[in-house]
Amino acid sequence: MGCSIYKTAKQKIIYVMGIDGSGKTTVAEYIAEELRARGYRVDVRWLRFNHFFSKPLLALCRLLGYTKYEMAGDIRVGYHEFYRSSAIAWSFVLLQYLDAVRVKWLYLQPCLWSRNRVLVLDRYIYDILIDIMIDTRLTGLDKSRIGQAFKRLLPDNAFSIVLHRSKDKVLQARPESGVDREFNDRYELYDKLRTEGEVHVIENDGTVDDLLQSVREQLTELCA
């Protein structure tokens, strides 16, 4: 039998990341459907905002005005301005790390211990780091010691994919992003991520069929 997507189940964890509008959900759902068709138990988890330890700080920041909402026509856009206080910024970083540790032991580790089970992540560590860098303007955080500690929470054998799409295509898919004044900075961070060689890159400027074919081609690497 030729190499096929079901053999990726030996990885246990498949992580799909990218900016909103890049095609993450389409890819994550496709992988999950294929694996279920092969008899695997598959959970799809959206792990971007799992606030637990950081929740009280977020509530405080809203009261103190570090979290703001603006109306752009009919669209409400929220901003975290944690960069205005180094104490707030670094407290947020550390609490987000504790939240990520909690998620690892709550969701990832049980999957690694289970047989015939695969976890498909729609956003996780890299997405969290990009969110933090936007909110705190600690632009080198991903390369710092704490940034590396975040990345180590992802199991070594996880198969990580970043979806890349041209800015115009992203805005066509998510036009509301055009009123977000942080959109360009966020796009640049994801664009930088795909050039650093830490994750597998899938381009998504064609049709849905083109995208799914690219997914199949990337995943065959696991069968080598």
Residues 83-101 have a mean pLDDT of: 97
Q: Which position has the token pair 């955080």?
A: 141
The pLDDT value recorded for residue 107 is: 86
Local confidence band at 1 (pLDDT 50, 70, 90 cut-offs)? very low
**Which amino acid is present at 97?**
Y
Task: Give strand pairing partners of 200.
Answer: 161
Q: pLDDT tens digits, residue range 114-135?
A: 877 889 999 899 999 999 999 9
- Stretch (H or E) spanning 172: helix 167-173
Task: Select from 131, 124, 129 the least CA-distant residue to 104.
Answer: 124
Let me know if 176 is exposed, middle or buried by CB neighbors in 10 A (0-12, 13-18, 19+).
middle
Q: What share of the chain in percent tops pLDDT 90? A: 63
Q: pLDDT tens digits, residue range 100-113?
A: 999 999 888 888 88
CATH superfamily name and code, 17-223: P-loop containing nucleotide triphosphate hydrolases (3.40.50.300)
The pLDDT value recorded for residue 4 is: 52
Enumerate the domain spans of the chain: 17-223
